Amino acid sequence: MELLLHQIFAGLATGGIYASVALALVMIYQATHLVNFAQGEMAMFATYLAWSLMQAGLPYWVAFFLTVAIAFVGGILIERVIIQPVENAPVLSVVIVFIGLLVIFNSLAGWIYTYTIKPFPSPFPSGSFLDNRLLSSHEMGSMAVTLGVLALVFAFFRYTPLGLAMRAAAQNPVSSRLVGVRVGWMLALGWGLASAIGAVAGIMVAPIVFLEPNMMGGILLYAFAGALLGGIDSPGGAVLGGFLVGVLENVVGVYLGTELKLTVALVIIVAVLVVRPSGLLGKVHVARV
């Protein structure tokens, strides 16, 4: 029983990471109806940046916030320079651009930092959290950070005029222009936010999976499974789905063997697409013909 509980809590900790990346995926998806396959590699690259900043002698939290800020600006730049020119291109072209970004960031990281696995520091004390046997301090801390980020993002979208404009631009670009919203910039801002959220997720997961250019590969898959499970067009669903996938993955890892962990993500993806394509909280789109 305790083993199961432990796995559930550990699952919630990694689930928080999946939830963040899933949220980043959903944000881009809502605006463009495309899944940014490069989301994970962008996060990985940001994590390397944080590592470099710390190597240069910056304190952990300074490096953390600086990295998140750079990731935000970087996300905006990528949208403006690379994505915007292909905005009206066929879907397949944009997907190829995403895959291109994935490969570029992956090899860039390998080229600059080599493929050797690096340890990554955690800002939280080692050992278990307040002497309980279910959660380590890092798991607890990273869960708190992820939940904090998610709360901030939701508050931003729910309560600020800019957040409202971004939601409006994603669902009705034409009407948004007619009330004066600069839709192109809202898209870029969405990329910036998604990239920043990814950077936080990368930094939080790096102490667990260690720093290497392929560290986000599996995570992106889990996050995608989580986003689909919750509903690819529902930010709340994506977060819920991310946590669920985290728990499932851990529990399955214990009872069926770790070899099957990644399979869980793929089974979830296929099952959701077959049984309930709209996901748990997603909307079912019905069109009159």
> Binding residues for another protein, per CB under 8 A?
161, 164-165, 167-168, 171-172, 174-183
Q: Pick the closer one to another protein by CB: 114 or 160.
A: 160
Q: How far is the CB of 209 from another protein (least distance, A)?
A: 36
Q: How far is the CB of 283 from another protein (least distance, A)?
A: 8
| 3-state secondary structure labels for all residues of the chain | CHHHHHHHHHHHHHHHHHHHHHHHHHHHHHHHCCCCCCHHHHHHHHHHHHHHHHHCCCCHHHHHHHHHHHHHHHHHHHHHHHHHHHCCCCHHHHHHHHHHHHHHHHHHHHHHHCCCCECCCCCCCCCEHHHCCCCEHHHHHHHHHHHHHHHHHHHHHHHCHHHHHHHHHHHCHHHHHHCCCCHHHHHHHHHHHHHHHHHHHHHHHHHHHCECCCCCHHHHHHHHHHHHHHCCCCHHHHHHHHHHHHHHHHHHHHHHCHHHHHHHHHHHHHHHHHHCCCCCCCCCCCCCC
Q: Pick the closer one to another protein by CB: 164 or 251.
A: 164
Q: Pick the closer one to another protein by CB: 56 or 179.
A: 179
Q: How far is the CB of 184 from another protein (least distance, A)?
A: 9
Q: How far is the CB of 158 from another protein (least distance, A)?
A: 10
Q: Pick the closer one to another protein by CB: 93 or 171.
A: 171
Q: How far is the CB of 167 from another protein (least distance, A)?
A: 7
Answer left, alpha or beta for residue 246, where phi above 0 means left and psi between -120 and 50 means alpha.
alpha
Q: How far is the CB of 130 from another protein (least distance, A)?
A: 42
Q: Pick the closer one to another protein by CB: 130 or 174.
A: 174
Q: Pick the closer one to another protein by CB: 170 or 268.
A: 170
